[in-house]
Amino acid sequence: MSIQILHHEFLGPVRLSEWGPPMEKVVYVVLARDKDRFHLVYADVCEHTDDRSFFVSNDSFKCWMERAGSEENLYLAILPMFASDAPGRRFVLDRIVHETKPPCNGVTQGGTRAPL
């Protein structure tokens, strides 16, 4: 299964709770499912992680939960970019954030929006 975001083919979405490490050199998006629709709530890059708590320890996790209503409604989609460099992945991320304005990007630990 795949989902297209700004002409990029992301793998997934899969339930966030079903994700397991490792993850390396990807742009990822967190989606909230509402019936048959997915809403992009957060986007970021991951250079490498083996940490199972990678997502739940994210500063914006509380915002994701507020948007999704429960962890059951949180989904993950990834864009593998193994052949790219960090600035290339950052360029794709910046474009996605600029065009889609995910509501949880720029949210701090306390749940307030930080300046972008």
- Tell me the C-alpha distance between 29 and 2, whole Å: 12
pTM for this structure? 0.90
25-65 per-position pLDDT tens digit: 999 999 999 999 999 999 999 999 999 999 999 999 999 99
Task: Give the model confidence (pLDDT) of 66-105 as tens digits.
Answer: 999 999 999 999 999 999 999 999 999 999 999 999 999 9
Task: Work out the pLDDT band at 106, boundaries 50, 70, 90.
Answer: confident
Helix (H) or strand (E) holding 97, with range, is helix 86-100
**pLDDT confidence of 107, banded at 50, 70, 90?**
low
